[in-house]
A and B are shown apart, each in its own frame.
Chain A
């Protein structure tokens, strides 16, 4: 078969007949999941590290958010060099997080409440302490010699090419046992699996089947931009003077950002692997799903390739919103771009996660600085829950937690340590969940040493306080999600974004065959008018947090306000829709 290059693959994907609104209505489209970063969620045994029993303890809380389910960050046996994303045994539970019995109890309890359970899974690398790697590195001839990506040194002893780790330094580490380099796109203790070896891929599929057999509803696959790398190990070119247009982590000066990642990220060889992974979940009843995390790349453009209807992942875990430039214009452009490219595929809207800056501080810093943190957090939740796609709410996001400032002494994240102070790492999003404003450590632990401290100011935003406050972020998210359940257009409808000229308003339409909802978000700290112009609406929707102040020529939106207007669609309008 001809080897298609990456551009051809995008072209092939977007030539597909686009998905019509409401033509597919599986549970996961438009679902809203809650991301539990176990380590920082709730510590039930006082050792300072969150655990599975802590999640069981808080299942009521998760259920009361009115989400459809949750996704658990990694809990597998791990040396914890990258806090669980360095897996030593895919089938075991790390002792710091609990036992297999705990997990089974959680799964059953969640299912009893009709909550879906997704787990995190790293298909493309393991810990360097995984027995597979121990065997692979032991010689050049062992049965697993080709399970990881190995290469001889260049003649001068240097690594075979210029690939860099996004966490800093070369992506190649010398192993004296084989006298060869191995490839690691992240930390040196996270060697990349060679999934182009069918035997390795089959082994990884079997690890997935282990969890699917236990009954998990899906897997969020970590870092799928790295499922494969160029078999010829070609060098990446430097970025052009215009930059490569892709937002990557690690701070503004991360050397990783100086390359165009043609050969180490999102390579054509990955798509065959994606199909195999999809086949694995399709072996199971009940529409188990795969959500693929696409980072380091232009994910709003490339998601289509990875989520082609029926062949790829069910949805992409999109990093573009997280990395977006915080302006209405830039957000409009991005939403537009995804609508152009995402024809048959799907994505999950994510504004915050355990790797990012918390969204309220990242995307709406201007509002936080203007004392409008709470309003900004509601606006972002509105965007997340009304844009096309599913949504994943990161723990604490429902509380509108701001991103804390951390001192170097507080940093636990190896990435942050590598690139400090240019990049502060991911710990700001990983401080412990504030449950109880008066309890030590916010009620995260009954012990005296949480692995990372409660962020300053987060105690005042603790769950117990917000529960009592009708205007709180928490109560807004609960109410909005409850309200959203009765609006299938938001889950399955089409989407069209209006012109960036309306900035700082972001305006987009969600539609079915007969109804259109026009969503308006005021991405500014000043009151704004949305002028009706030539258009006419049937009404302004009433719902949690929605603005409804109509004057003669339009709709008034307070600072960071948002609203939805509705109308019936006539034939003329229908023809104008994409």
Chain B
């Protein structure tokens, strides 16, 4: 218990200057991993038609948009993050017509559609690469990052792949190495080449024309590399977090291979393109090191609308202090610089498990949905699914197979949605799914939670529904209360309306001491409980308080 000191902050303008708020500001984006959502074709792999069939479900969640992980043509060495044709739907997932129907029906329900764009690298099966690797004289010779070996035959520098080993792969056809920041089947495009920039912008233009409302930009700090190919320096201190220690990648400071200044200009070109289509959105994925600095640069005016880093995705504990310092570092007082909060995605251990309590983090999720910024809700998080244990024989993620058993890879977050535990394969597919559905997901199936009052699913639906109707929680300026112990507390203020939001992220009952007029009138309908007494609100763990302040 601590005496609360309320630091008054001056109200800030909301959103983009004096303009009207944008749909993506404060949006909740439901992240769909299509392989694991719903299989309608009976091949054990989810598809686009499956997403369309479940739009009712998505709509009932009360989200503003969906982000669909890659569904374009790919040899699937990295499950779609290795694109062999940017403008075709992979037959595993359906057809272009099916995608257009999906967009149409989503729009009819007021749901925006964001697609994944994997521009930093292609598959080694992409025709661009097949041409580029053929010879040093081919017209696309300079479309990828090629370099001669050092005199002793070794790669040109010390750069390492995120997925293990050197990030340079020998190509006998050219007698040169090519750069790959991830798998060797994922050669990096050379963004220093204006033709490459034009080509990927053309890809984006085509999809905007098809009606997608936004793009989630995969590893968007990786687009450029140091042209001089200088060595990365040694990292003077290893990063915290056990999930990075298994990988020698963390022993370098990645100041040469990624995060290059030329990227900013390219992001501006991309923004210009997006803006030429109206209210489209660019959501960038940032990597872990220097995430905050990049966030400020990348989400500055005329660059990305939104970006997310790994601040919370990799964290094993998240307390109020951490959220405040992260939001502050990201610049929540700025006009631009909108973060996209994410607790879960297809790359990280599910938060239900990772945060150690093995129960759904309702208050934390509500906090992220009410802090200034957008939020990604990853499929299955609304069910409170635990991270799946997958036996080695069934692991398919190349990242996990490389670093097993120190790191099990990403399959545990990618298991199929348990729709109906009474049906075969939980209603996900009529065939054996590409990843097993864990036993402990069955009691948490949608069909059960649907009919259970107070289930995680129903709580999240209720909360997101409630939140949608309250403009300050979407667009308002944010000011934190300090020294509130385990309680995260902040005001959101928009057009004269002011809401106090308080969440107990700790393990024990906690109190927030404020004069009654600053606590405001308790609001109802959000599904959380708290107890108000004179100049104090008492909140149990994983509960929250919302007060309307005049």
Interface, chain A (partner B; CB < 8 A): 153, 155-158, 162, 164, 168-170, 173-174, 176-177, 179, 235-238, 251, 253-259, 418-423
Asked if B234 and A258 sit within 8 Å, CB to CB, the answer is: no
> Which residue on B lies nearest to A251, using beta carbons?
B172
Contacts of A158 in B (CB 8 A): 158, 160, 166, 248
Interface centre among B172, B245, B246, B247 (most CB of A within 10 A): B172
Q: Is the interface of A mostly helix, strand, loop or mixed?
A: loop
Q: Is the interface of B mostly helix, strand, loop or mixed?
A: loop
Asked if B164 and A236 sit within 8 Å, CB to CB, the answer is: no
Other A-B contacts than A162-B153, A236-B152, A255-B149, 17 sampled, CB-CB below 8 A, are: A156-B158, A156-B232, A156-B234, A157-B160, A164-B154, A168-B170, A170-B165, A176-B247, A177-B405, A179-B406, A235-B152, A238-B151, A238-B152, A258-B151, A258-B152, A420-B172, A421-B173
Interface, chain B (partner A; CB < 8 A): 149-154, 158, 160, 164-166, 169-170, 172-173, 175, 231-234, 245-252, 402-407
CA distance A420 to B149 in the complex (A): 18
Give the contacting residue for A176; candidates B150, B231, B403; CB below 8 A.
B403
CA distance A179 to B405 in the complex (A): 11
> Which residue on A lies nearest to B149, using beta carbons?
A255
Asked if A259 and B172 sit within 8 Å, CB to CB, the answer is: no
**Smallest CB separation, A229 vs chain B (Å):** 16
Asked if A258 and B172 sit within 8 Å, CB to CB, the answer is: no
Contacts of A236 in B (CB 8 A): 152
**Smallest CB separation, A153 vs chain B (Å):** 5
CA distance A157 to B397 in the complex (A): 23
Asked if A176 and B406 sit within 8 Å, CB to CB, the answer is: yes
Asked if A155 and B251 sit within 8 Å, CB to CB, the answer is: yes
CA distance A475 to B249 in the complex (A): 61
CA distance A259 to B173 in the complex (A): 20
CA distance A174 to B250 in the complex (A): 13
Asked if B170 and A169 sit within 8 Å, CB to CB, the answer is: yes
> Which residue on B lies nearest to A257, using beta carbons?
B153
Give the contacting residue for B406; candidates A177, A255, A419; CB below 8 A.
A177
Contacts of A238 in B (CB 8 A): 150-153
Contacts of A419 in B (CB 8 A): 170, 172
Contacts of B169 in A (CB 8 A): 169
Provide 19 A-B residue pairs closer than 8 Å at the C-beta atoms, listed in order of the A residue: A156-B158, A156-B251, A157-B158, A157-B248, A157-B252, A162-B154, A169-B166, A170-B154, A174-B164, A174-B248, A177-B406, A179-B406, A235-B152, A238-B150, A251-B172, A255-B154, A258-B151, A419-B172, A422-B172
CA distance A179 to B407 in the complex (A): 12
Contacts of A255 in B (CB 8 A): 149, 153-154, 170
Given A153-B251, A251-B172 in contact, is the A170-B152 Cβ separation under 8 Å? no
CA distance A256 to B231 in the complex (A): 22
CA distance A255 to B170 in the complex (A): 8
**Smallest CB separation, B245 vs chain A (Å):** 7
CA distance A185 to B246 in the complex (A): 23
Given A157-B249, A177-B405, A419-B172 in contact, is the A259-B164 Cβ separation under 8 Å? no
Give the contacting residue for A259; candidates B153, B248, B404; CB below 8 A.
B153
Asked if A153 and B248 sit within 8 Å, CB to CB, the answer is: yes
For the complex of A and B, 8 pairs with smallest distance between CB atoms: A422-B172, A255-B153, A258-B153, A157-B248, A157-B251, A176-B406, A176-B246, A238-B151
Give the contacting residue for A156; candidates B172, B233, B402, B406; CB below 8 A.
B233
Contacts of B165 in A (CB 8 A): 169-170, 173-174
**Smallest CB separation, A155 vs chain B (Å):** 5
Contacts of B407 in A (CB 8 A): 176
Give the contacting residue for B250; candidates A157, A164, A173, A422; CB below 8 A.
A157
CA distance A170 to B175 in the complex (A): 16
**Smallest CB separation, B174 vs chain A (Å):** 9
Interface centre among A170, A173, A255 (most CB of B within 10 A): A255
CA distance A156 to B231 in the complex (A): 9
Contacts of A235 in B (CB 8 A): 152
> Which residue on B lies nearest to A168, using beta carbons?
B170
CA distance A176 to B245 in the complex (A): 9
> Which residue on B lies nearest to A180, using beta carbons?
B248
**Smallest CB separation, A318 vs chain B (Å):** 25
CA distance A420 to B252 in the complex (A): 32
Contacts of A257 in B (CB 8 A): 153
Contacts of B160 in A (CB 8 A): 157-158
Contacts of A153 in B (CB 8 A): 248, 251
Contacts of B170 in A (CB 8 A): 168-169, 255, 418-419
**Smallest CB separation, B408 vs chain A (Å):** 11
**Smallest CB separation, B263 vs chain A (Å):** 23
Contacts of B246 in A (CB 8 A): 176, 179
Contacts of B250 in A (CB 8 A): 157
**Smallest CB separation, B500 vs chain A (Å):** 46
> Which residue on B lies nearest to A235, using beta carbons?
B152
CA distance A39 to B502 in the complex (A): 70
Asked if B172 and A423 sit within 8 Å, CB to CB, the answer is: yes
Contacts of A177 in B (CB 8 A): 405-406
CA distance A237 to B403 in the complex (A): 31
CA distance A176 to B172 in the complex (A): 29
Given A253-B175, A421-B172 in contact, is the A258-B248 Cβ separation under 8 Å? no
Contacts of A251 in B (CB 8 A): 172
Give the contacting residue for A237; candidates B152, B164, B233, B248; CB below 8 A.
B152
Give the contacting residue for A422; candidates B149, B166, B175, B233; CB below 8 A.
B175
Contacts of B251 in A (CB 8 A): 153, 155-157
Given A156-B232, A179-B246 in contact, is the A422-B158 Cβ separation under 8 Å? no
CA distance A423 to B172 in the complex (A): 8
Contacts of B245 in A (CB 8 A): 179
CA distance A418 to B403 in the complex (A): 22
CA distance A177 to B403 in the complex (A): 8
Contacts of B151 in A (CB 8 A): 238, 258
**Smallest CB separation, A294 vs chain B (Å):** 21
Asked if B172 and A253 sit within 8 Å, CB to CB, the answer is: yes
> Which residue on B lies nearest to A158, using beta carbons?
B158
Asked if B248 and A164 sit within 8 Å, CB to CB, the answer is: no
Asked if A422 and B153 sit within 8 Å, CB to CB, the answer is: no
Contacts of A256 in B (CB 8 A): 153
**Smallest CB separation, B132 vs chain A (Å):** 16
CA distance A156 to B238 in the complex (A): 11
CA distance A423 to B152 in the complex (A): 20
> Which residue on A lies nearest to B177, using beta carbons?
A255
> Which residue on A lies nearest to B151, using beta carbons?
A238
**Smallest CB separation, A315 vs chain B (Å):** 32
**Smallest CB separation, B393 vs chain A (Å):** 13
**Smallest CB separation, A426 vs chain B (Å):** 15
